[in-house]
Structure 1
């Protein structure tokens, strides 16, 4: 209790908390886009439930990982070397997650461009099963959670601060999930943009796994610029529609 009281009156701890919350919220955007796109493939009556379960699993995973911080930190230790570059468990998890995102986004783009494809490596189904959706969300939750916790460990050594930051960030995800999913569903062109974001995020994860650090600021600046352009397109399209009906 004395430890918590000392943190509560320490200005440095509050600064670390606010910084970490902001960082966790930003990192959660990637996860939220994937959850929104995937749950929109479900029947309407299951979407909200799947989003809650997916984000709830993200919270449980991150809190559980915080209980094993000592083990998580060791995930950055190289376990084997290829051509002079050491690969850690974190690297392999990021690469696997990035490849999964590339595969998933490419499959969804393929379906959007050709809704009635012939049998090939891509699934022809227009929807995904509830259990399959939760399994895919859980897989990406694990990738993003490990990256999130490692980032948190690098910013502060106080577990209570990490726990509060994770709870606040995941709560923001829960509040934003519904509106984001509905916005994506109401604006079909945004789906393609979001899938493009997933490809970029997947490539970033793979690059990070191979040791090429990609500043997150550049990635989110590109996403923000693209989203702003698409927002202008949506406004212009709606004004043309109103003018046409007028």
Structure 2
């Protein structure tokens, strides 16, 4: 399966971000990609809850989702929308950070709401409280396609090995980790975490990322790490998109999943233990 990771510098304007995705999708398809993946918060990267309230929509009303479903059908490709910020019916008004897998017919075949919220103090100048604006998901998801079973996760989820092990044990051959990773933690941890998840599970790991400094019409601008990665089941980095926006193409050979798992069958070696 020829796969394309779209590396973006999304702003807080969903309409402009949609134009970027549509252009990059066309470029990916022209390169022969049959599976296209976008980063986390493809539609709107913003630190302003007020702005998000103004521009985000419920899933059933979201223009980005509707347009990209149409684009997947028009191009005849599988599309993994890394995530969209969408409104919910929650009484407290919090959003969902939701990933969508879209078929070549334009149908949404799987959804995943990010489980682990990025509530951290990277430094005195860089603090995040994702749970203030987004509510955490509660359900892990493995989606079945004709070419592979796909385990869905988002960004901060990558730090929780048990989630990805559960996805692999449920049949996942590809793990998706779309992200808007902090440039500070990215430089320290991004490659190591993604390679570890691939090695532990014997899965391909596909991680399309946001990159650079993100324009903001309201509130602070953010800076993300980039380096969209494709990692093989044995842990080799197959592609690294660097820090510029663009389309990163990689060919996946799903036989490598079984090959890696036969060499080191650690998914079958779980043991019960006492303590600590």
| Structure number with higher strand proportion | 2
**TM (normalized to structure 1)?**
0.25
Bigger helix share: 1
Task: Give the alignment's TM-score, normalised by structure 2.
Answer: 0.23
- Max Rg structure: 1
Point out which structure has higher relative CO (alpha carbons under 8 A, 6+ apart): 1
